[in-house]
Structure 1
Amino acid sequence: MFDGINRRVVSLWFPRLASDRALRARPVAGPFALTLKENNANRIYCLNAAAEREGLHRGMSFSDARAFCIDLQSRPADPLGDARFLAALRRWATRYCPWVGYEGGDGLVMDITGSAHLQGGERGLLTDLRQHLGRAGLSVRIGLGDTRGAAWAFARHGEGVAAPGEGAEMLSEMPVAGLRLPPDHIEALQRLGLRTIGQLAASPRAPLARRFGPGLLMRLDQALGRQPEEISPEPDPPHYGVRMSLPEPIGLEADVMAGTGRLLDRLCAKLKDRGTGARTLCLTLRRVDGDSQHVELRLARPLRDAARILPLFERGIGDVDAGFGIDQMRLEAVQVEKLPDEQIGHSGAGGQGRLDDLITRIGTRIGLDNVVRYLPADSHIPERSFIVAPAAWSKPEGTWTVPRPRPLILFPPEPITATGAQPPQSFRWRRMRLTILRVSGPERIAPEWWFDDPNWRSGMRDYWRVETRQGRRLWLFYTPQNPGWFVQGEFA
């Protein structure tokens, strides 16, 4: 790519990326750590310099860490947020060179060949990097060399800068861990007495290849520049936006709908090519006076069918103030999701599609998150046997599996006056005198000991299905440990 020019690579390592990001948002003084649950145990995920000085380290049990350091402050880790933050850093680093890629989950690699002079040379570029990252509150170690492997080793084992052509000499004194090898390979090489890269490079290659495979020699050759290693920059995310400039301003609702339909045809073609569907659409209408009107449409399901999406814009477009006319229209899919092609039967999927469109129409009036559905939950406790989820972000999956029927109407327990462990012959409930005709039960339900629910502190319950002569079909329960009778539900 750059014939006759020495390749120069910068490696950025953020040893405390997660904790630095957390402390940027909410600074604390003293030892601090982020915890992550692994195999039913909380462990140290990342920690600041003050916690490291107390002898704490990554992977350590959080309970052990609190025993060593009673002043330790902690928060739950957010690996997805850390990944998004690293992606933002990658985009920021493109100000120095166009070739910026990821180096694991806590580093970046930059090919600054031919770009360093724009920052006053390599020294100026590295100084500017340190200053900006330091002001952002990020700990960083920087390595610069002729190869990606050398830069990686310098950043993580000495933070060195090698002049052009001197990378091999500096690498010879570095540990074999600087070759990006698996931990078991590093341990085996150290047992053989090969502790530095120089010792490894001077050893016969054939025995090494037989014992460790070709990966070891490949990493060695990449670091020394004998074998090329590319740096692939991350591609820019696809842009789902189309626009249309109008020769004459328009203002009628029908004209705006027609223009929106044309934009939808082009946008849906882009979505189909990439196997995605739109969840949120934004229509921007620019008026001749320079002002803009925005119409946002949130869909209950990802779609790329222009014929189905267009009618859903009617309500929003009907509220647009066109002023003296609209001369430009822009449609953008703000949020997209994967939507692969599906095989449908001869009956099609019209029923589900109409339900999704109905949810979208109702959501435009009251908010899409306010349209909810009930879903089964894995719990034998009546109050916890279901969850309420937004219909747009869930699917009607599964069925309730219970040993006995459950009432259609469930409400908080209401006490009634009765004695004994058997259902009373008559009782008063909600100012009504009821006489029992038939009973079925009991069904004993024990509390879930892992939840501290105040409603279940009275212990186990014996549930009875009761039919009264007055026509009411109720769900009663008795608490043996704290004797009492209650009504909790009513059957249809």
Structure 2
Amino acid sequence: MFDGIRRRVVCVWFPRLASDRVLRAHPIDGPFALTLQEKNANRLYCLNIQAERQGLHRGMPYSDARAFCPTLHSRPADLDADRKFLHVLRRWATRYCPWVGLEGEDGLVLDITGAAHLFAGEAPMLADMRRRLARAGLAARIGLADTRGAAWALAHHGEGQAEAGRPLDALAGLPVAALRLDDKTVTALQRLGLRSIGDLERVARAPLARRFGPGLLVRLDQALGRQSEQISPLAEPPHYGVRMTLPEPIGLQDDVLAGTARLLDRLCLRLKAQEVGARVLCLTLRRVDQEARTVELRLARPLHDPHRILPLFRRGVTDVEAGFGIDQIRLEATRVEPLPVEQLSHVASRGKDRVDDLISRLGTRIGLENIQRFLPADSHIPERGFLIAPAACSDPDGAWCSPRPRPLRLFPPEPIDGEGPRPPERFRWRRMSLCTTRATGPERIAPEWWLEDAGWRSGVRDYWQAETRQGRRLWLFYTPQNPGWFVQGEFA
């Protein structure tokens, strides 16, 4: 109750949310289903109405479904996209009331107390919801009652609305499953002959509590309004954008940077409060002629330090044509990442920060994706002992661990003359005559049998470190299964 106003709750259930989302973008005329991998089996996850009319149902193995319905169209389910779509619908539902929350993975719950008069009553409000959702291609079932539990029951098991103050009249004929009970409890109640909520209400409460625990009665009391149940609306995601409207147009680079600095201070305070850092910043400069110029800054690491970010904008601002002047500046962090507070130490080094700033400055010129670094890979094969990754999306924390030294320069194997398992005393390599003075080895490396590699079809390799009289330190290997000598690397 709010000042004598009876609480009214709406529950909107989308029985085919996932399939409706896909069919809105890619319409298909005929049976359609989304599939999901569950327990090593591909099963139906969500179906449209045509597939249900063919006798298919959720949880059915996909192979059986294709046998029953050869014309079935299918796609893999995307649970993350379904969750994001439900959040979009939650935001849309705030047009009816400010208190909107999620009801499971396929529904919404709205507290419309005191808001129905804005739509000329409850019935016109529900009709407007149904009309708009149908126009969007979404199947929805709506329940209205005094409590959240009753509204959920009506939406899932008997679409309609309950008269204010009399929820039992609308719920009495609904099955006990409408109380949001688990399947085991529902089956046990049905075996006792308690098939409807009305039957359950007429039975003594003490035996039910002893046999099924307090949860059953709590659900019953929540549905009938004897026990309150909260509706927690989701908080709006933080918006990382600030802007400044100027009383007089500006056009000098220093003036634009001064305005950007003021906006950066405000934005970074907001980022620090949420313990996040900006990875992509968008600076929009609106000119007097209403045209806008955008400067995008991509950072190598998440930052919320305005003193480190501001100098990186200078190059982009220099290239902007101000025209007759700029009268509005807007700054937004379009991509953020977690940046929790860290304990500072008197021995902390700023070397890593300087490297990150250097990568950011170079990235504004040639693109962050073009600045790459070598990272260690878990493989004993020399050619696969490293990988190349963008420096801005990787961290050089891993150590290069190898039981034997590896050459600084590595190249494809080059054949040389030699016989026997010992390195040759004299050989020619790249038009040079070389004499071996000392050889260390062998280190036997076997191919990775689970990967197909044409270069290792000769079998195992015995690697040697060979020092030559001419000053070359080479990495040689011998293939005993297919006799031959090769040079694959050179030490510094």
TM-score, L = length of structure 1: 0.85
Q: 1:237 deviation in Å?
A: 2.0
Seen in structure 2, the aligned counterparts of structure 1 residues 83 and 466 have a Cα distance that, compared at 3 Å, is same
Residue 18 of structure 1 is matched in structure 2 by: 18
Aligned pairs for 1:13-92 within 5 A: 13-28=13-28, 30-38=30-38, 42-53=42-53, 56-60=56-60, 62=62, 72-92=72-92
- The reply on whether 1:151 has 2:151 as its aligned counterpart is yes
The two structures, once aligned, show a CA RMSD in angstroms of: 3.4
Whether the 8 Å CA contact 1:444–1:460 is kept in 2: the answer is: no
Q: 1:439 deviation in Å?
A: 5.8
- 3-state SS, counterpart of residue 342 of structure 1: coil
Residue 328 of structure 1 is matched in structure 2 by: 328
Query: C-alpha separation between the residues in 1 aligned to 2:427 and 2:56?
Result: 64
Residue 240 of structure 2 is matched in structure 1 by: 240
Percentage of matched positions with identical amino acids: 63
Letter in 2 for 1:339: L
Seen in structure 2, the aligned counterparts of structure 1 residues 65 and 96 have a Cα distance that, compared at 3 Å, is same
Once the two structures are superposed, residues 111-130 of structure 1 have per-residue CA deviations (whole angstroms, 9 ceiling, x without a partner) of 23343444454443333333
Q: 1:86 deviation in Å?
A: 0.9
Residue 445 of structure 1 is matched in structure 2 by: 446
Residue 172 of structure 1 is matched in structure 2 by: 172
- 3-state SS, counterpart of residue 90 of structure 1: helix
Range with bigger deviation, 63-72 or 273-282: 63-72
Residue 475 of structure 2 is matched in structure 1 by: 474
Seen in structure 2, the aligned counterparts of structure 1 residues 233 and 304 have a Cα distance that, compared at 3 Å, is same
Q: 1:353 deviation in Å?
A: 1.1
Once the two structures are superposed, residues 216-235 of structure 1 have per-residue CA deviations (whole angstroms, 9 ceiling, x without a partner) of 32221111111222322222
Whether the 8 Å CA contact 2:99–2:112 is kept in 1: the answer is: yes
Residue 464 of structure 2 is matched in structure 1 by: 465
Range with bigger deviation, 132-141 or 10-19: 132-141
Q: 1:357 deviation in Å?
A: 0.9
Whether the 8 Å CA contact 2:423–2:464 is kept in 1: the answer is: no
- 3-state SS, counterpart of residue 161 of structure 2: coil
Residue 348 of structure 2 is matched in structure 1 by: 348
Q: 1:384 deviation in Å?
A: 4.4
- 3-state SS, counterpart of residue 236 of structure 1: coil
Query: C-alpha separation between the residues in 2 aligned to 1:400 and 1:305?
Result: 32
Letter in 2 for 1:360: S
- 3-state SS, counterpart of residue 186 of structure 2: helix
Whether the 8 Å CA contact 2:161–2:170 is kept in 1: the answer is: no
Query: C-alpha separation between the residues in 1 aligned to 2:202 and 2:147?
Result: 20
Query: C-alpha separation between the residues in 2 aligned to 1:432 and 1:109?
Result: 81
Query: C-alpha separation between the residues in 1 aligned to 2:203 and 2:109?
Result: 29
Range with bigger deviation, 288-297 or 358-367: 288-297
Whether the 8 Å CA contact 1:280–1:334 is kept in 2: the answer is: yes
Whether the 8 Å CA contact 1:407–1:475 is kept in 2: the answer is: no
Once the two structures are superposed, residues 29-56 of structure 1 have per-residue CA deviations (whole angstroms, 9 ceiling, x without a partner) of 5554434445665544434444445555
Seen in structure 2, the aligned counterparts of structure 1 residues 459 and 109 have a Cα distance that, compared at 3 Å, is farther
Seen in structure 2, the aligned counterparts of structure 1 residues 158 and 380 have a Cα distance that, compared at 3 Å, is farther
Whether the 8 Å CA contact 2:476–2:485 is kept in 1: the answer is: no
Residue 224 of structure 1 is matched in structure 2 by: 224
Range with bigger deviation, 419-428 or 248-257: 419-428
Whether the 8 Å CA contact 1:90–1:102 is kept in 2: the answer is: yes
Whether the 8 Å CA contact 2:287–2:328 is kept in 1: the answer is: yes
Q: 1:281 deviation in Å?
A: 1.7
Query: C-alpha separation between the residues in 1 aligned to 2:360 and 2:377?
Result: 26
Once the two structures are superposed, residues 320-368 of structure 1 have per-residue CA deviations (whole angstroms, 9 ceiling, x without a partner) of 2222332332222222222221101103341111111111111111112
Aligned pairs for 1:92-241 within 5 A: 92-119=92-119, 121-241=121-241
Seen in structure 2, the aligned counterparts of structure 1 residues 4 and 404 have a Cα distance that, compared at 3 Å, is same
Query: C-alpha separation between the residues in 2 aligned to 1:479 and 1:66?
Result: 54
Whether the 8 Å CA contact 1:434–1:468 is kept in 2: the answer is: no
Seen in structure 2, the aligned counterparts of structure 1 residues 166 and 432 have a Cα distance that, compared at 3 Å, is farther
Query: C-alpha separation between the residues in 2 aligned to 1:84 and 1:357?
Result: 34
Q: 1:63 deviation in Å?
A: 5.6
Q: How many residues align?
A: 488
Query: C-alpha separation between the residues in 1 aligned to 2:59 and 2:483?
Result: 50
Seen in structure 2, the aligned counterparts of structure 1 residues 71 and 315 have a Cα distance that, compared at 3 Å, is same
Query: C-alpha separation between the residues in 2 aligned to 1:71 and 1:432?
Result: 70
Query: C-alpha separation between the residues in 1 aligned to 2:422 and 2:159?
Result: 78
Structure 2 runs not aligned, ≥5 long = none
- 3-state SS, counterpart of residue 389 of structure 2: strand
Query: C-alpha separation between the residues in 1 aligned to 2:222 and 2:136?
Result: 33
Letter in 1 for 2:287: R
Query: C-alpha separation between the residues in 1 aligned to 2:7 and 2:207?
Result: 31
Query: C-alpha separation between the residues in 1 aligned to 2:378 and 2:41?
Result: 23
Once the two structures are superposed, residues 64-110 of structure 1 have per-residue CA deviations (whole angstroms, 9 ceiling, x without a partner) of 65666665544333222211111111111222332221101111112
Whether the 8 Å CA contact 2:474–2:487 is kept in 1: the answer is: no
Whether the 8 Å CA contact 2:45–2:59 is kept in 1: the answer is: yes
Aligned pairs for 1:274-285 within 5 A: 274-285=274-285
Residue 260 of structure 1 is matched in structure 2 by: 260
- 3-state SS, counterpart of residue 398 of structure 1: coil
Range with bigger deviation, 338-347 or 368-377: 368-377
Query: C-alpha separation between the residues in 1 aligned to 2:60 and 2:427?
Result: 60
Query: C-alpha separation between the residues in 2 aligned to 1:101 and 1:454?
Result: 54
Q: 1:211 deviation in Å?
A: 4.2
Q: 1:264 deviation in Å?
A: 1.6
Query: C-alpha separation between the residues in 2 aligned to 1:327 and 1:312?
Result: 22
Q: 1:428 deviation in Å?
A: 6.6
Query: C-alpha separation between the residues in 2 aligned to 1:187 and 1:483?
Result: 74
Residue 368 of structure 1 is matched in structure 2 by: 368
- 3-state SS, counterpart of residue 315 of structure 2: helix
Aligned pairs for 1:281-296 within 5 A: 281-296=281-296
